[in-house]
Structure 1
Amino acid sequence: MNPVTGLRELPPLMRGLVGAYVVSGVTHLVRPQVFEPTIPPQLPKARELVYLSGVAELVCAVGLVNPATRRAAGYASAALLVAVLPANVEMARQAQASVRRRSTPGKQARLAGMLARVPAQWPLIKASLDIARR
Protein backbone atom coordinates (compact mmCIF):
# COMPACT_ATOMS: atom_id res chain seq x y z
CA MET A 1 0.00 0.00 0.00
CA ASN A 2 1.34 3.37 -1.04
CA PRO A 3 0.16 5.92 1.54
CA VAL A 4 0.38 8.79 -0.94
CA THR A 5 -1.89 6.98 -3.39
CA GLY A 6 -4.28 6.03 -0.59
CA LEU A 7 -4.41 9.64 0.58
CA ARG A 8 -5.07 10.92 -2.95
CA GLU A 9 -8.06 8.59 -3.25
CA LEU A 10 -9.79 10.38 -0.38
CA PRO A 11 -12.04 13.40 -0.84
CA PRO A 12 -10.39 16.70 0.23
CA LEU A 13 -12.35 16.90 3.49
CA MET A 14 -11.13 13.45 4.51
CA ARG A 15 -7.53 14.29 3.55
CA GLY A 16 -7.82 17.25 5.88
CA LEU A 17 -9.20 15.02 8.61
CA VAL A 18 -6.30 12.58 8.18
CA GLY A 19 -3.87 15.48 8.55
CA ALA A 20 -5.71 16.77 11.61
CA TYR A 21 -5.69 13.29 13.14
CA VAL A 22 -1.93 12.98 12.64
CA VAL A 23 -1.14 16.39 14.15
CA SER A 24 -3.60 16.02 16.99
CA GLY A 25 -2.67 12.41 17.70
CA VAL A 26 1.02 13.23 17.97
CA THR A 27 0.24 16.25 20.16
CA HIS A 28 -1.89 14.07 22.45
CA LEU A 29 1.08 11.75 22.93
CA VAL A 30 3.82 14.39 23.23
CA ARG A 31 1.96 17.05 25.24
CA PRO A 32 -0.93 15.30 27.00
CA GLN A 33 -1.17 18.05 29.60
CA VAL A 34 -2.70 20.32 26.93
CA PHE A 35 -5.74 18.05 26.70
CA GLU A 36 -6.10 16.82 30.28
CA PRO A 37 -8.25 19.79 31.41
CA THR A 38 -10.86 18.87 28.78
CA ILE A 39 -11.49 15.44 30.28
CA PRO A 40 -14.70 15.51 32.35
CA PRO A 41 -13.88 15.13 36.04
CA GLN A 42 -16.27 12.16 36.29
CA LEU A 43 -13.92 10.12 34.10
CA PRO A 44 -10.93 8.50 35.79
CA LYS A 45 -7.33 8.58 34.58
CA ALA A 46 -7.39 11.70 32.42
CA ARG A 47 -3.81 11.26 31.17
CA GLU A 48 -4.49 7.70 30.03
CA LEU A 49 -7.65 8.82 28.22
CA VAL A 50 -5.65 11.54 26.44
CA TYR A 51 -3.08 8.95 25.34
CA LEU A 52 -5.83 6.59 24.24
CA SER A 53 -7.55 9.26 22.15
CA GLY A 54 -4.21 10.21 20.56
CA VAL A 55 -3.54 6.61 19.58
CA ALA A 56 -7.12 6.32 18.27
CA GLU A 57 -6.59 9.39 16.09
CA LEU A 58 -3.39 7.95 14.63
CA VAL A 59 -5.02 4.56 14.02
CA CYS A 60 -7.95 6.25 12.26
CA ALA A 61 -5.55 8.29 10.10
CA VAL A 62 -3.65 5.21 8.98
CA GLY A 63 -6.85 3.24 8.49
CA LEU A 64 -8.44 5.92 6.33
CA VAL A 65 -5.40 6.07 4.05
CA ASN A 66 -5.32 2.30 3.52
CA PRO A 67 -8.12 1.17 1.14
CA ALA A 68 -8.20 -2.27 2.82
CA THR A 69 -9.09 -0.75 6.21
CA ARG A 70 -10.92 2.38 5.06
CA ARG A 71 -14.43 1.07 5.76
CA ALA A 72 -13.67 0.11 9.37
CA ALA A 73 -11.64 3.29 9.86
CA GLY A 74 -14.54 5.39 8.56
CA TYR A 75 -16.86 3.96 11.19
CA ALA A 76 -14.16 4.24 13.86
CA SER A 77 -13.51 7.84 12.84
CA ALA A 78 -17.20 8.74 13.14
CA ALA A 79 -17.32 7.10 16.58
CA LEU A 80 -14.15 8.90 17.68
CA LEU A 81 -15.53 12.27 16.57
CA VAL A 82 -18.71 11.64 18.56
CA ALA A 83 -16.68 10.51 21.57
CA VAL A 84 -14.50 13.65 21.63
CA LEU A 85 -17.38 16.07 21.07
CA PRO A 86 -17.83 16.66 24.83
CA ALA A 87 -14.12 17.54 25.13
CA ASN A 88 -14.46 20.04 22.28
CA VAL A 89 -17.48 21.60 23.96
CA GLU A 90 -15.48 21.82 27.19
CA MET A 91 -12.57 23.47 25.38
CA ALA A 92 -14.97 26.08 23.97
CA ARG A 93 -16.47 26.63 27.42
CA GLN A 94 -13.04 27.12 28.95
CA ALA A 95 -12.01 29.54 26.19
CA GLN A 96 -15.19 31.53 26.74
CA ALA A 97 -14.54 31.71 30.50
CA SER A 98 -10.99 32.88 29.82
CA VAL A 99 -12.25 35.70 27.57
CA ARG A 100 -14.74 36.72 30.25
CA ARG A 101 -11.97 36.95 32.85
CA ARG A 102 -9.64 39.01 30.65
CA SER A 103 -10.26 39.51 26.97
CA THR A 104 -7.29 39.74 24.62
CA PRO A 105 -7.15 39.38 20.82
CA GLY A 106 -5.37 36.04 21.24
CA LYS A 107 -8.00 34.72 23.64
CA GLN A 108 -10.77 35.93 21.33
CA ALA A 109 -9.16 34.15 18.38
CA ARG A 110 -8.83 30.95 20.42
CA LEU A 111 -12.49 31.22 21.44
CA ALA A 112 -13.54 31.68 17.80
CA GLY A 113 -11.56 28.57 16.83
CA MET A 114 -12.98 26.50 19.67
CA LEU A 115 -16.54 27.61 18.87
CA ALA A 116 -16.02 26.74 15.19
CA ARG A 117 -14.76 23.25 16.06
CA VAL A 118 -18.00 22.09 17.60
CA PRO A 119 -20.31 22.44 14.57
CA ALA A 120 -17.44 21.47 12.24
CA GLN A 121 -17.54 17.98 13.72
CA TRP A 122 -20.89 17.19 12.10
CA PRO A 123 -19.67 17.33 8.47
CA LEU A 124 -16.60 15.34 9.50
CA ILE A 125 -18.81 12.67 11.08
CA LYS A 126 -20.93 12.57 7.93
CA ALA A 127 -17.86 12.35 5.69
CA SER A 128 -16.45 9.53 7.85
CA LEU A 129 -19.69 7.61 7.53
CA ASP A 130 -19.79 8.27 3.77
CA ILE A 131 -16.28 6.83 3.42
CA ALA A 132 -17.28 3.77 5.45
CA ARG A 133 -20.34 3.18 3.28
CA ARG A 134 -18.52 3.33 -0.07
Structure 2
Amino acid sequence: MNSKIIKTIFRVLLAVFVIAAGVAHWVTPTPFVQMMPNYLPYHLELVQISGVFEILGGVGLLIPFASRYAAWGLILLFIAVFPANVNMAVNDLVIDGMPHNLVAYWVRLPFQAVLIAWAWWFTRVPQTAEVK
Protein backbone atom coordinates (compact mmCIF):
# COMPACT_ATOMS: atom_id res chain seq x y z
CA MET A 1 0.00 0.00 0.00
CA ASN A 2 1.50 3.34 -0.95
CA SER A 3 1.84 6.27 1.44
CA LYS A 4 -0.87 8.33 -0.27
CA ILE A 5 -3.46 5.58 0.34
CA ILE A 6 -2.33 5.18 3.96
CA LYS A 7 -2.58 8.92 4.52
CA THR A 8 -6.06 8.97 2.97
CA ILE A 9 -7.19 6.13 5.25
CA PHE A 10 -5.89 8.00 8.31
CA ARG A 11 -7.53 11.23 7.10
CA VAL A 12 -10.91 9.47 6.85
CA LEU A 13 -10.41 7.81 10.25
CA LEU A 14 -9.69 11.16 11.92
CA ALA A 15 -12.64 12.74 10.11
CA VAL A 16 -15.00 10.00 11.31
CA PHE A 17 -13.60 10.23 14.84
CA VAL A 18 -14.08 14.00 15.16
CA ILE A 19 -17.47 14.01 13.42
CA ALA A 20 -18.69 11.32 15.83
CA ALA A 21 -17.31 13.28 18.78
CA GLY A 22 -18.96 16.45 17.50
CA VAL A 23 -22.30 14.71 17.15
CA ALA A 24 -21.90 13.30 20.68
CA HIS A 25 -21.45 16.87 21.97
CA TRP A 26 -25.01 17.55 20.75
CA VAL A 27 -26.69 14.20 21.40
CA THR A 28 -25.26 13.61 24.89
CA PRO A 29 -23.79 16.91 26.07
CA THR A 30 -23.96 16.19 29.81
CA PRO A 31 -20.59 14.36 30.12
CA PHE A 32 -18.84 17.13 28.20
CA VAL A 33 -20.52 19.83 30.30
CA GLN A 34 -19.38 18.03 33.48
CA MET A 35 -15.77 18.14 32.26
CA MET A 36 -15.78 21.92 31.85
CA PRO A 37 -13.65 23.93 34.26
CA ASN A 38 -15.68 26.15 36.59
CA TYR A 39 -13.85 29.29 35.48
CA LEU A 40 -15.42 29.03 32.01
CA PRO A 41 -18.92 30.43 31.49
CA TYR A 42 -21.75 28.96 29.41
CA HIS A 43 -20.72 25.32 29.66
CA LEU A 44 -23.48 23.88 27.47
CA GLU A 45 -23.01 26.52 24.81
CA LEU A 46 -19.24 25.96 24.71
CA VAL A 47 -19.79 22.21 24.40
CA GLN A 48 -22.21 22.76 21.52
CA ILE A 49 -19.85 25.20 19.80
CA SER A 50 -16.93 22.79 20.10
CA GLY A 51 -19.19 20.06 18.70
CA VAL A 52 -20.01 22.19 15.67
CA PHE A 53 -16.32 22.86 15.06
CA GLU A 54 -15.49 19.17 15.41
CA ILE A 55 -18.13 18.32 12.80
CA LEU A 56 -16.94 21.10 10.50
CA GLY A 57 -13.31 20.03 10.95
CA GLY A 58 -14.12 16.42 10.17
CA VAL A 59 -16.10 17.31 7.08
CA GLY A 60 -13.38 19.75 6.04
CA LEU A 61 -10.75 17.01 6.22
CA LEU A 62 -12.71 15.15 3.54
CA ILE A 63 -12.79 18.12 1.13
CA PRO A 64 -9.45 18.33 -0.72
CA PHE A 65 -9.24 22.12 -1.05
CA ALA A 66 -10.28 22.62 2.59
CA SER A 67 -8.44 19.78 4.32
CA ARG A 68 -5.29 21.72 5.27
CA TYR A 69 -7.36 24.52 6.81
CA ALA A 70 -9.61 22.01 8.56
CA ALA A 71 -6.55 20.27 10.02
CA TRP A 72 -5.23 23.58 11.41
CA GLY A 73 -8.68 24.29 12.84
CA LEU A 74 -8.75 20.89 14.53
CA ILE A 75 -5.32 21.51 16.04
CA LEU A 76 -6.64 24.73 17.56
CA LEU A 77 -9.75 22.91 18.77
CA PHE A 78 -7.72 20.11 20.39
CA ILE A 79 -5.70 22.77 22.22
CA ALA A 80 -8.87 24.65 23.22
CA VAL A 81 -10.55 21.60 24.78
CA PHE A 82 -7.43 20.48 26.64
CA PRO A 83 -8.35 22.41 29.84
CA ALA A 84 -11.51 20.31 30.15
CA ASN A 85 -9.44 17.14 30.02
CA VAL A 86 -7.00 18.53 32.58
CA ASN A 87 -9.93 19.53 34.81
CA MET A 88 -11.33 16.01 34.65
CA ALA A 89 -8.00 14.44 35.64
CA VAL A 90 -6.83 16.94 38.24
CA ASN A 91 -10.18 17.02 40.02
CA ASP A 92 -10.92 13.29 39.56
CA LEU A 93 -14.41 14.12 38.30
CA VAL A 94 -17.19 11.59 38.13
CA ILE A 95 -18.57 11.97 34.60
CA ASP A 96 -21.98 10.57 33.63
CA GLY A 97 -21.65 7.80 31.07
CA MET A 98 -17.90 7.36 31.52
CA PRO A 99 -16.16 4.78 33.66
CA HIS A 100 -14.64 6.53 36.66
CA ASN A 101 -10.98 5.66 36.19
CA LEU A 102 -8.40 8.23 37.22
CA VAL A 103 -5.63 6.42 35.33
CA ALA A 104 -7.69 6.64 32.12
CA TYR A 105 -8.25 10.34 32.77
CA TRP A 106 -4.49 10.92 32.97
CA VAL A 107 -3.81 8.73 29.91
CA ARG A 108 -6.30 10.85 28.00
CA LEU A 109 -4.11 13.94 28.45
CA PRO A 110 -1.17 12.85 26.24
CA PHE A 111 -3.69 11.50 23.74
CA GLN A 112 -4.44 15.15 22.92
CA ALA A 113 -0.86 15.42 21.66
CA VAL A 114 -1.47 12.37 19.47
CA LEU A 115 -4.58 14.03 18.04
CA ILE A 116 -2.66 17.24 17.41
CA ALA A 117 0.16 15.35 15.65
CA TRP A 118 -2.39 13.37 13.65
CA ALA A 119 -4.11 16.54 12.44
CA TRP A 120 -0.75 18.25 11.83
CA TRP A 121 0.13 15.48 9.36
CA PHE A 122 -2.67 16.79 7.13
CA THR A 123 -1.39 20.37 7.22
CA ARG A 124 1.68 19.36 5.28
CA VAL A 125 1.85 20.32 1.61
CA PRO A 126 2.22 17.12 -0.42
CA GLN A 127 5.70 16.61 -1.81
CA THR A 128 5.77 16.52 -5.60
CA ALA A 129 8.23 14.43 -7.50
CA GLU A 130 11.04 16.42 -9.06
CA VAL A 131 11.23 16.25 -12.82
CA LYS A 132 14.79 15.78 -14.05
* TM-score in terms of structure 2 length: 0.76
Give unmatched runs, 5+ long, in structure 2: 126-132
Query: Whose helix fraction is larger, Structure 1's or Structure 2's?
Result: 1
Alignment RMSD, CA only? 2.2
What TM-score, normalized to structure 1?
A: 0.75
Match of 1:87 in 2: 84
Partners of 1:97 and 1:33 lie apart in 2 by 13
Contact map agreement 1:72 1:132 (CA 8 A) in 2: yes
Distance 1:44 1:68, change over 3 A: same
Describe the superposition over 1:70-90 as per-residue Cα deviations: whole angstroms up to 9, x where unpaired: 010010011001111111112
CA shift, 1:11, in A, is 4.8
| Count of residues in correspondence between the two structures | 117
- Structure number with bigger Rg: 2
Query: SS of the counterpart of 1:29?
Result: helix
Distance 1:66 1:24 in 2: 19
CA contact (8 A) 1:10 1:65 kept: no
**For 2:104, which of 113, 116, 132 is the aligned residue?**
113
| Distance in 2 between residues matched to 1:87 and 1:60, nearest whole Å | 19
Q: Deviations over 1:8-38 (max 9, x none)?
A: 75252x4332222122111111121221122
- Percentage of matched positions with identical amino acids: 33
